[in-house]
Structure 1
Amino acid sequence: MAGKDTKQPETQGSGAGGLGEALSGFVGSQVERLAEKASDKLTDLTGQLTDVADNGGSLLKIGSRILGGESPVKAFLSEKAKGLKDSVVDKAKGLFGGGKRKSGSSKSMNIIEVLDVGVPLRTAYDYWTQYEKFSSFTKGVRSVSMSDEMTSDWKVKVGPSSRSFKATVQEQIPDDRIAWTSEGAKGSTKGAVSFHELAPTLTRIVLVVEYYPSGLFEKTGNLWRAQGRRMRLDFKHFQRYVTLTEEEPEGWRGEIRDGEVVMSHDEALEEEEAAQAEDSENDGEYEATEDENGEAEDEEDEDVAEDEEEGGVEEDEWEDEEADDDGEERSR
């Protein structure tokens, strides 16, 4: 019994010691985990504070808020929210052109339209060159005034407001094509229109435009292709006007190449009149030649007729002589 009593306390003592060691190890590991989490949170907080400072915030501002009576958490969140707001505003300015627009930073919109008009090629071209009449049959153009043979001032309707821009013709070849550029406060364009004869009274018109919007409203409208729809509708209005109007067009017949007028309207008309006069002379000479050829053929026909008559008389006389000879022989 005594041996058992002395042995049992030793067993209990060793078990208590092992439990203590295990408990000590568990507590130590938990302390290390908490320390690591605290370190991570401190690092994250330091990084956030650094971001706030980089985005326009300042640790001094946070400190001044704390000294003013705000809690550290509230001071930090206030500065963080302010930095986020500034970032969003800067991105919005870059998207909608709130600051100065960098060259090439604006996204362009391509507009391509094709229409067939039931009029001759020259008629369709001459109607297109009458820019000052565009406001009478379109809804997007309010007024057009010509500055000179190459430049014109346009006022167009964009939603509820108006926009102005100056257009400059870079190339213009009569009855073929017109290419231009335009500049305005709220956008710029590059465009070309070409004319193609399908039949004597049928012309195809191809319109190609690159539109570079600038400004909040224009860029918002660009997202909905508002400008493209407006141009498409006005193009159809041009088709209707050209097809149904009874007015004779007085188009500009000059020629522009590389941004310079190489032939004025009056010079082009004089050249056309000279070409028409030359064609008329050639036609007159051709008709006169035909008349001379006709007269010559008539004279030849008369000569042939006379020869045939003379030949007929000789033949009759020869027949009479043969008859007389026959009668003499028979009488003998």
Structure 2
Amino acid sequence: MDDVACNDILDRIRGIYSSSTPEEKSYLRKILEEISDTGHSPTYEQIWLEDFKEIPVTIDTFIESETYLGKTNRCGKAVYPFWRKELRRMFDAGNKYHEWVLTGATRIGKSSTAITGTAYMLYRLMCLRDPQKFFGKKDISKFSILFFNITKDLAKGVAFREFNDTLKASPWFNAHGTFSRSDRDFYYIPEGGKIVIDYGSDASHALGQQVFCLVGTTEIYTSDGIYQLKDLEGSMHSILQYSDHGDIFESKALVKKTRYASSTIRLTLEDGSIIEGTPDHRIMMSDGTYKRLQDISENDDLLTV
């Protein structure tokens, strides 16, 4: 390691130390002493494991190991050195970067690099014991990983599909989640039901509000009674929903026409009620997980009122 790199590390340690509380400073001193004596710090690992189910591997290990993404890139050999360097710089910087823009000519690895970085962020998020608690979010909140393009078809057919193909080849992701049943349009479902992976082309697909992809005649429960969606179009309403724990709560939602669908899927339930919507509309199952309409079978148990 050259002098410049050593000085950078020392400056980072000084910065962290100076901004720490007295208790945090004592832990930091203990960690540095343990590393100095043995090259290993049990205290550091114990602190990590307070929040993490497992300590995340480095970005290099994530890329190279066949446990993670190694099977998709010849154990890292298919990743350009420039992008490896940029990925290290990004993930070694802690919370320094909030946005990362990749530019340049075509066929230089921008999309693949973005997919690798996104997969690594998903992996680190899934390593947490309780992501919602760690980031100060409500238990019912979900994290969303969204792939956008100029049209939904492009968003689905480019990065979204390659991202899911990448995860499907990874033993770690297979062990910590499942894939939808559709062989043609499969997508990854992380364990725990707290992370959603989707795609879109319009701001409404990502706004912090509920976006319903159901036909206008669908009846929904509101705080004022049961209404058809078409009668609520263009207005905000309190919609009754189930939380992941099975509790009913109210949530404000903007009811709007999101698209003109060329095809829909129609489900008839045992009680005769009907659900009709776009194939990618998610429905909550009785166990709290979600499935898209296109993946629901007659043996599935939907959560109903």
Query: How high is the TM-score relative to the length of structure 1?
Result: 0.19
Instruction: Answer with 1 or 2: which has the greater Rg.
Output: 1
Q: Which has the higher strand share?
A: 1
Query: How high is the TM-score relative to the length of structure 2?
Result: 0.20
Q: Which has the higher helix share?
A: 1
Highest relative contact order (Cα 8 Å, sep 6+), 1 or 2?
A: 1
